[in-house]
């Protein structure tokens, strides 16, 4: 059965082998609390890389048993990120998580040419978010909202594959992937439309496998069947999409923040393109968001 609520990942993970998570610069209460809950739920084992005194103080303040974690001392956030990546490369973890370190420093550790986590020199890093919103009947897997400002065609193809892979991990056997543009009409002057048409045809020809792909599609017809009926649009994806590919970071970022800040939605987020799933949430995100993101990473981890 497809996973339709984020919390359903917890139950699904009980039947899978437990993975070890390594948290980079895990000095904050939200990160430690989320990891603690994940350990208690049997989702992961955990290594916290950061300042041991700070970690112990946070655990004491929040009544968390610090002995459930392996702690690796490193008080500097840059060195902590590099050390966390080194542990992954040494086979001592299958999931990387961002703690209190800033996103640019976290990404720099992942992208390091000599000691980073890139699968290959040509690998494309992208941020995939799974959103649960009260106004939609199932989860939405979307990208990119945080890393690639203006993806070109090659990057969009990679992102499409990441979306499909994430949907498969959520037991969505044949996900419907919508390629967003300002209109569902074919406009030659809009790159979002022409790229969407190319990727859709690649899906038709089997060059991108594992899902049903259609675009260009405007947001209203992507998520609303009534809009499709009014516009007399026939599409195997429209009105029932599982995934949305955004043409630029502005549209993706606004969509995901609108859902979480105005619509009461919740999310899980990871970075694709590295050797392991990398949890990437904002330092200000809730403990619940971080916990869901850990669960998504564990669902995707090999």
Taking residues 282-296, report their average pLDDT. 87
On whether both 235 and 301 belong to a single domain, the answer is: no
> Into how many domains does the chain fold?
2
* Bridging pattern class, strands 126-132 and 266-272: antiparallel
Q: What is the pLDDT of residue 156?
A: 98
Residue 104, judged by CB atoms within 10 A of its CB (0-12, 13-18, 19+), counts as exposed
Query: What CA–CA distance (Å, rounded) separates 91 from 254?
Result: 37
Token pair 């606004």: residue: 254
Query: Does residue 284 have a pLDDT over 80?
Result: no
Taking residues 231-241, report their average pLDDT. 96
Angstrom distances, CA of residue 263 to CA of 188, 191, 270 = 34, 30, 22
Cβ–Cβ under 8 Å, residues 290 and 37:
no
Query: Does residue 283 have a pLDDT over 70?
Result: no
Closest to 23 measured CA to CA, from 125, 104, 106, 126:
106
Residues 189-231: tens digit of each pLDDT: 999 999 999 999 999 999 999 999 999 999 999 999 999 999 9
Q: What percentage of the chain carries pLDDT values higher than 70?
A: 99
On whether both 139 and 34 belong to a single domain, the answer is: no
Q: What percentage of the chain carries pLDDT values higher than 90?
A: 93
Residues 40-76: tens digit of each pLDDT: 999 999 999 999 999 999 999 999 999 999 999 999 9
44: CATH: 3.40.50.10950
* Bridging pattern class, strands 176-180 and 243-245: parallel
160: CATH: 3.40.718.10
On whether both 269 and 281 belong to a single domain, the answer is: no
Residues 114-154: tens digit of each pLDDT: 999 998 878 999 999 999 999 999 999 999 999 999 999 99
On whether both 128 and 144 belong to a single domain, the answer is: yes
> Helix, strand or coil for residue 24?
strand
Q: What is the pLDDT of residue 4?
A: 97
Query: Does residue 161 have a pLDDT over 80?
Result: yes
Sequence-distant (≥ 6) Cβ neighbours of residue 221 within 8 angstroms: 184, 227, 228, 231, 233, 235, 238, 239
Query: Does residue 287 have a pLDDT over 90?
Result: no
On whether both 209 and 128 belong to a single domain, the answer is: yes
Q: In what order do the strands lie in the sheet with 243-245?
A: 70-73, 44-50, 19-24, 95-98, 278-279, 266-272, 126-132, 140-143, 243-245, 176-180, 212-217
On whether both 260 and 147 belong to a single domain, the answer is: yes
Domain interval for residue 87: 1-121+274-302
On whether both 263 and 180 belong to a single domain, the answer is: yes
Query: Does residue 265 have a pLDDT over 70?
Result: yes
On whether both 58 and 136 belong to a single domain, the answer is: no
On whether both 258 and 205 belong to a single domain, the answer is: yes
Residue by residue, DSSP assigns 106-147 as HHHHHH-TTTS-BSSTT---EEEEEEE-TTSSS-EEEE-SSS
On whether both 128 and 268 belong to a single domain, the answer is: yes
Full-model pTM: 0.95
On whether both 67 and 155 belong to a single domain, the answer is: no
Query: Does residue 237 have a pLDDT over 90?
Result: yes
Confidence of residue 167 (pLDDT cuts 50, 70, 90): very high
- The token pair at 45 is 């084992």
On whether both 59 and 71 belong to a single domain, the answer is: yes
Residues 77-122: tens digit of each pLDDT: 999 999 999 999 999 999 999 999 999 999 999 999 999 999 887 8
Q: What is the pLDDT of residue 282?
A: 74
Q: What is the pLDDT of residue 285?
A: 77
């Amino acid at each position: 059965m497809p996973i339709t609520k984020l919390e359903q990942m917890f139950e699904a993970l009980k039947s899978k082998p437990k993975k070890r998570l390594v948290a980079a610069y895990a000095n904050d209460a939200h990160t430690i609390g989320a990891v603690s809950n994940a350990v208690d739920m049997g989702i992961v084992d955990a290594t916290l890389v950061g300042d041991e005194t700070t970690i112990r103080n946070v655990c004491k303040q929040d009544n968390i048993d610090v002995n459930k974690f392996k702690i690796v001392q490193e008080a500097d956030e840059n060195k902590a990120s590099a050390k966390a990546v080194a542990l992954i490369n040494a086979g001592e973890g299958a999931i990387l998580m961002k703690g209190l370190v800033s996103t640019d420093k976290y990404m720099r550790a992942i992208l390091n040419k000599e000691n980073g986590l890139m699968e290959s020199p040509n690998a494309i890093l992208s941020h995939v978010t799974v959103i649960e919103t009260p106004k939609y009947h199932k989860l939405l897997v979307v990208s990119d909202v945080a890393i690639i400002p203006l993806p070109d065609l090659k990057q969009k193809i990679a992102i499409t594959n990441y979306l499909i892979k994430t949907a498969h991990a959520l037991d969505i056997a044949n996900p419907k992937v919508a390629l967003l543009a300002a209109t569902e009409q074919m406009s030659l002057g809009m790159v979002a439309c022409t790229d969407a048409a190319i990727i859709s045809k690649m899906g038709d020809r089997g060059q991108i496998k594992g899902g049903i792909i259609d675009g260009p599609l405007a947001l209203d017809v992507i998520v609303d069947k009534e809009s499709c009926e009014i516009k007399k649009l026939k599409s195997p994806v429209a009105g029932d999409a599982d995934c949305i590919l955004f043409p630029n970071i502005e549209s993706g970022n606004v969509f995901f923040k609108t859902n979480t800040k105005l619509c009461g939605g919740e999310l899980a987020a990871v970075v694709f393109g590295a050797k392991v799933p990398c949890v990437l949430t904002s330092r200000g995100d809730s403990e619940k968001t971080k916990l869901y993101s850990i669960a998504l990473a564990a669902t995707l981890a090999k």
